[in-house]
Amino acid sequence: MAIVSGGVTASSGKQVYWIEPLVNIVTGERALEREEFAEDIVILCRHRINKDMFPSDEVKDAALLELYEVYAALKDERELSVRVALLATDYMKALADCSACTLNAEQRTYVTTTSIPRDLDAGVAGSSKLLENETFRTWVTNYRFACTTPEMVVPQMDLFSGMSDEIKLPLIERIKATTMKWYVQYQSKEVTKADAEVLLHKIKSFVENKPVEGEPLANPIMEEAFQSYLEIGKDFPLDKVDAYWIVRINNLQICVNNLA
């Protein structure tokens, strides 16, 4: 199977979403030095609900060393069917341990059929094709179960339930474009974690108080993002507006938590 390419690649230490690090490691299309490799692993760990995956630092360090050695041994390999050997290492198995997952069957189905392929393609264009490999599909499904709670997924399910693709898909594209616009600026250091925290605070204040006046955000990039999110919210059906803002807050809070 050919491995996808063409996604946005962040500079070292400036990634935040789980998609880019995972695709970097699994596909091997962009060679990672050991330090950057470790940074990508840290990002994958941050998204888990339970971050205590190993009984001791010694066990964790040994598992990480094994993973990097397998990664290094596969540096010239591009066949996904071979590279998924990475997912059988102790560290990657620990990352995908979803034994504590509290999602019900309906919520798991949503994560598997909607959330995972959508998020993969949003993070690295075309990367949902990786799901054609059964080993990868199983691993990433378990990993996302380990990263998701009902409180995170239920608002997303409610947000688009009953909406036609004609209405839903353009809204999803606008949300994605708005988020990626400021996120790319974060990658180039035009936006900081503090800027994202201020944006989150302004959105929370708007949801609580519905103010439309006030001083614009100091960083014009984030003020533009706020105004864009505001306009998108106006185009949701009235009975979906509350769910829209809950999802925006949840997703932005996760993003802020993972920014360097």
φ and ψ at 129, to 5 degrees? -65, -25
Residue 55 burial by Cβ neighbours in a 10 Å radius (0-12, 13-18, 19+) = exposed
CB 27 within 8 A of CB 4: yes
Question: What is the pLDDT, as a whole number, of residue 137?
Answer: 98
Residue 67 burial by Cβ neighbours in a 10 Å radius (0-12, 13-18, 19+) = buried
Question: What is the pLDDT, as a whole number, of residue 10?
Answer: 35
* Identity of the amino acid at 102: T
Give the C-alpha separation, 95 to 111, whole Å: 17
Query: SS3 of 192, please?
Result: coil
Site of tokens 């990658």: 187
Question: What is the pLDDT, as a whole number, of residue 213?
Answer: 64
Helix locations, the chain, DSSP H = 19-27, 34-46, 57-73, 80-83, 90-95, 105-110, 116-123, 134-146, 150-160, 165-187, 193-209, 220-234, 241-258
Buried b or exposed e, range 185-222, using 16+ CB within 10 angstroms: bbbeeebeeebbebbbebbeebbeeeeeeeeebebebb
Tens-digit pLDDT string for the chain (260 aa): 433 333 333 333 345 579 989 999 999 988 899 999 998 999 899 899 998 999 999 999 999 999 999 999 999 999 999 999 999 999 999 999 999 999 999 999 999 999 999 889 877 888 999 999 999 999 999 999 999 999 989 998 999 889 988 998 899 889 988 998 998 898 889 999 999 999 999 999 999 887 666 789 999 999 999 999 999 999 999 999 999 999 999 989 988 887 76
Question: What is the pLDDT, as a whole number, of residue 4?
Answer: 38
- Return the structure tokens found at 7: 């996604």
Give percent helix, percent strand, percent coil of the chain, each to the nearest 5: 70, 0, 30
Query: SS3 of 139, please?
Result: helix
